[in-house]
Amino acid sequence: QVQLVESGGGLVQPGGSLRLSCAASGSIFKINDMGWYRQAPGKQRELVAAITRADNTNYADSVKGRFTISRDNEKNTVYLQMNSLKPEDAADYYCNAVVLGVGKLQPKNYWGQGTQVTVSS
């Protein structure tokens, strides 16, 4: 089994910054794509940013130029640096990883438990 644990959420003023981290642990052979999603109250979960094992990245238009996704394959960890935060960025942020487990033939999609980001003055 694989677990994803997020950290780094909290309350920040508009214009401020936060850095989210998500560490994967368990029976991991290789992690393929990793990403961050968010879900605001009353809205659907949406992709914020994604990164491949080769460090190719993809961002939602709403966060381009403000957020940066990165990963450390040695630590099985993905990060999301969020700058110039806006009230509309407030949401629960979820980590996602496509993981090939030890002894498994097919990768499986895993989710973290979520971390709350509040942007308010």
3-state DSSP call for residue 71? strand
58-107 pLDDT tens trace: 999 999 999 999 999 999 999 999 999 999 999 999 999 999 999 999 99
Q: What is the pLDDT averaged over residues 4-15?
A: 97
Q: Specify the pLDDT at position 83.
A: 98
Q: Specify the pLDDT at position 25.
A: 97
Q: Specify the pLDDT at position 100.
A: 96
Name which of 42, 54, 23, 49 is nearest 91 in CA terms: 42
Q: Specify the pLDDT at position 38.
A: 98
CB 107 within 8 A of CB 99: yes
